[in-house]
């Protein structure tokens, strides 16, 4: 039976957990995740987990933050004047927004604090700075 290798397109089911056991995502109630190993579509930790697996095999791997969503960067947190947002925009902590910079680049940010005069935005991925635990099952190699 074939083993997954670089260049293969695979389908996997996964459950991602934080070190405290909290599940942050799973594919178990939806379609398996499909990707090409080495195709830069998914973070390196998932690709490394699947390499060498055979269809039907399962494993649990720990993915350090460097191989997942990277370190948490304080310089990706900014506080902006509340007046820069439309008055009719109902901002809430935890809300995600897509902002466009002056050079036209789009960035997804999370609202982390709101005051009468300021809004704090965090452009870090929600899982940045966290080591992940992945339960991975290789469904098939396409």
- Please list the pLDDT of the chain residue by residue as tens digits (142 residues): 799 999 999 999 999 999 999 999 999 999 999 999 998 888 888 899 999 999 999 999 999 999 899 999 999 999 999 999 998 999 999 999 999 888 999 999 999 999 999 999 999 999 999 999 999 999 999 9
CA-to-CA distance for 76 and 71, rounded, in angstroms?
11
Domain 74-122 architecture: Beta Barrel (2.40)
Contacts of 39 (CB under 8 A, 6+ apart): none
pTM: 0.80
Enumerate the domain spans of the chain. Answer: 9-70+127-141, 74-122
Of 60, 67, 62, 26, which Cα lies nearest the Cα of 136? 60
Return the H-helix or E-strand segment holding 132: strand 132-141
Q: Which fold has domain 9-70+127-141?
A: Chitinase A; domain 3 (3.10.50)
pLDDT for 43: 83
**82, two tokens:** 């509340």
Task: Check if 9-70+127-141 and 74-122 are the same fold.
Answer: no
pLDDT for 17: 97
């Amino acid at each position: 039976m074939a083993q997954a290798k670089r260049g293969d397109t695979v389908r996997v089911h996964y459950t991602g957990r934080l070190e405290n056991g909290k599940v942050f995502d799973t594919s178990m109630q939806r379609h398996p995740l499909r990707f090409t190993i080495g195709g830069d579509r998914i973070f390196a930790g998932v690709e490394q987990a699947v390499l060498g697996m055979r269809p039907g095999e399962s494993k649990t791997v720990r993915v350090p933050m460097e191989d997942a969503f990277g370190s948490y960067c304080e310089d990706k947190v900014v506080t902006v004047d509340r007046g820069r947002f439309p008055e009719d925009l109902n901002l809430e902590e935890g809300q995600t927004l897509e902002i466009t910079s002056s050079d036209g680049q789009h960035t997804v940010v999370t609202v982390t604090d709101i005051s009468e005069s300021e809004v704090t935005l965090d452009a870090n991925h929600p899982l940045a700075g966290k080591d992940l635990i992945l339960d991975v099952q290789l469904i098939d190699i396409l």
